[in-house]
Structures are given as structure tokens and as C-alpha cells.
């Protein structure tokens, strides 16, 4: 048996959503109604980690809430393509 204290989840949580290829592949943005040609051409996605789009944005709906990256990171907001990266 060890006396090492187990860190609580709040202490180990990343300061931001991690900008990894794995998270980028799981991002739902490319299937979202707001995701347009400009975003495709810019190879954008994972706005919750990478920040807002460089494109002119028209909000047509957001599917962030259904995404595993959002669920895993406990994200409760949406439209990260507009508002910038998720903050904890
Ligand atoms: S952040 Fe939301 S609205 Fe923006 S592209 Fe991704 S899923 Fe769509
Ligand atoms: S929460 Fe939104 S921006 Fe972040 S990975 Fe999921 S769909 Fe993409």
C-alpha cells in the first residue's frame, strides 16, 4: 500500500482542450451546418482548442455538444469557431 495522494480530477485537468491530431480527427465541425467552403479550404477545425475561424462566419447551428471531445473535456458552450477556444 502506498501513501501517495491521488490527484483530484480538477488538479489534473488540462488548462485547455489539447490541440492534437487525435482530437482534430474526432472534431464534428466538418459535419456542422455552419462549416462552410472557406473553413474547408483553410483546413480548419478543433476551434475549441485552436481558436476562432479566419472566415466570415454565419451561424447556422453548432454540433459541439454532440462531440466526444466536448464530452470528455466537460465543455458546456458552443460556437468556438466564433467565440474562440474553450476556457476552464
Ligand atoms: S464550433 Fe460549432 S458552429 Fe463552429 S464549426 Fe464547430 S460545430 Fe460548427
Ligand atoms: S467541441 Fe466543437 S470545436 Fe471542439 S472538437 Fe468538438 S465539434 Fe470541434
- Which ligand has the shortest distance to the CA of 36? 1
**36: three-class secondary structure by DSSP:** coil
Written as nine digits, the cell of 39 is 473553413
Q: Model confidence over 27-80: pLDDT tens digits? A: 999 999 999 999 999 999 999 999 999 999 999 999 999 999 999 999 999 999
Q: How many C-alpha atoms does 72 have within 13 Å on its Cβ side?
A: 12
Residue 75 CB less than 6 A away from ligand 2: yes
Give this prediction's pTM. 0.85
Q: Which helix (H) or strand (E) holds 54?
A: none
Closest CA to 62 of 42, 84, 77, 40: 77
Q: How far is CA 7 from CA 12, 14, 24, in A?
A: 7, 13, 28
- Residue 10: band (very low, low, confident or very high) from pLDDT cuts 50, 70, 90: very low
Amino acid at each position: 500500500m502506498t501513501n501517495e495522494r491521488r490527484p483530484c480530477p480538477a488538479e489534473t485537468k488540462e488548462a485547455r482542450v489539447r490541440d492534437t491530431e487525435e482530437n482534430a480527427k474526432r472534431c464534428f465541425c466538418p459535419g456542422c451546418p455552419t462549416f462552410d467552403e472557406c473553413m474547408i479550404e483553410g483546413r480548419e477545425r478543433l476551434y475549441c482548442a485552436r481558436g476562432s475561424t479566419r472566415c466570415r462566419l454565419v451561424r447556422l447551428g453548432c454540433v459541439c455538444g454532440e462531440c466526444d471531445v466536448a464530452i470528455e473535456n466537460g465543455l458546456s458552450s458552443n460556437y468556438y469557431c466564433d467565440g474562440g477556444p474553450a476556457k476552464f
